[in-house]
Structure 1
């Protein structure tokens, strides 16, 4: 095999792509899988923790209820602070090697990767959800409770649909961050994109060319996800043009004599 000259940058790029392109694609697939699944599970964890952190306690609650509520809030706050306050690379080492040493669990690197990305994302999403809930006017919650809804019903039917729309950009940010941050999982032998690139770079000792390719692949993944999430946001917003109702069919129970309201296009 004839190798390009040392100064032939694009020659080396094409050679490395030809020889290791399939490995790079496999690594990119693993990276996307970790990021997508981890972000999805993390969002579920964050939603649950965020709602639990807003759970009120009645003033006339008994002592055990107050102690249980305080203990729950302490545990949730500790979870958030620990996983937001430590690097994901350290969390991966603790989870993967700690599970072996302390619990004799033979955890696969991929399972450990999914677990770490999920709980790390959940900690960030919990605070995002709590802030999103706080951004909804308190009058809506009070109105829901005034018509007989419980706290959970008010959250499910009134507050959370609006909160999810407000925090959608942050969910997208977490997905893009996870696509990049999964690179740290190479320390527990997860064969994601960075791990694949590092292996290929050692074959020819051409680190610049290899990681130039890896950089382009990461950019394509993050840019595509960013555009897709923008499109979803646009669809959720709906059309900028709408028509007001021109008649009220319910004004006449028979529906034969609707009352015309004179609606117009906005």
Structure 2
């Protein structure tokens, strides 16, 4: 086996520099995706015909097309359609937000519908306004039900963020590819990149389990 990690050691800090970009894209997209997904979920359970149709069609399109295609469309087609030269970072945030929002909306909708109907009926009987009932009573309980699914979506987004390397954003995978081009060694840089992703996913999973335990104790 032709392995020589000594050649890669000087480049490890450079690979680690990509962690900042990976985490920024993931965290910003998850937060914005959660907000957008919540809006879509509320529209889906509403009786607003045109908006309801839009939310369902939107989800269908973004779940039915490859993420790499969506990213390429936003990054390369935006200048053609609008004349605005979008940066790779902006394209990544927009794409992952729109994509994760579609998936999260279905997760949140399922969580809301899983809340006991008695909660809805009790709130209505007490005359609680719909908006306050949804944000103070129903949605918080729904989030407890879907926390594992939200964690899975965040983990999936963290791994899928490697696609931003295709549009030149200097994430973990992009920096690893730069090292490959410099050293002409593939196994070692990609192994290090894989280990970084794995450690981040394990940390995220550990934090999520802690939050889930806290939420269960608070019931």
* TM-score, length-scaled by structure 2: 0.95
Task: Specify which structure has the higher proportion of helix.
Answer: 2
Change (3 A) 1:153 1:93: same
Runs (5+) with no aligned partner, structure 2? none
The reply on whether 1:19 has 2:19 as its aligned counterpart is: no
Between the aligned partners of 1:225 and 1:87, the Cα distance in structure 2 is: 25
- Corresponding residue of 2:31: 40
Q: Deviations over 1:130-173 (max 9, x none)?
A: 10011111221121111112222221121111011111111111
State the shift of 1:8 in Å. Answer: 5.2
- Corresponding residue of 1:121: 100
The reply on whether 1:176 has 2:155 as its aligned counterpart is: yes
Contact 2:7 2:183 in 1 (8 A): no
Between the aligned partners of 1:36 and 1:239, the Cα distance in structure 2 is: 26
- Corresponding residue of 1:164: 143
- Corresponding residue of 2:175: 196
The reply on whether 1:138 has 2:117 as its aligned counterpart is: yes
State the shift of 1:218 in Å. Answer: 0.8
* TM-score, length-scaled by structure 1: 0.79
Between the aligned partners of 1:155 and 1:113, the Cα distance in structure 2 is: 31
Q: Which runs of 4+ in 1 moved over 3 A?
A: none
Contact 1:31 1:192 in 2 (8 A): yes
Between the aligned partners of 2:113 and 2:38, the Cα distance in structure 1 is: 13
Aligned-CA RMSD value: 1.5
Between the aligned partners of 1:14 and 1:82, the Cα distance in structure 2 is: 47
- Corresponding residue of 2:217: 238
- Corresponding residue of 1:262: none
Secondary structure, counterpart of 1:148 in structure 2: coil
Secondary structure, counterpart of 1:52 in structure 2: helix
Alignment equivalent of 2:52, drawn from 61, 66, 73: 73
Q: Deviations over 1:63-118 (max 9, x none)?
A: xxxxxx21111111111111111111110110111111010111110011111111
Q: Which has the higher contact order (CA 8 A, sep 6+)?
A: 2
Between the aligned partners of 2:37 and 2:115, the Cα distance in structure 1 is: 17
Between the aligned partners of 1:23 and 1:99, the Cα distance in structure 2 is: 31
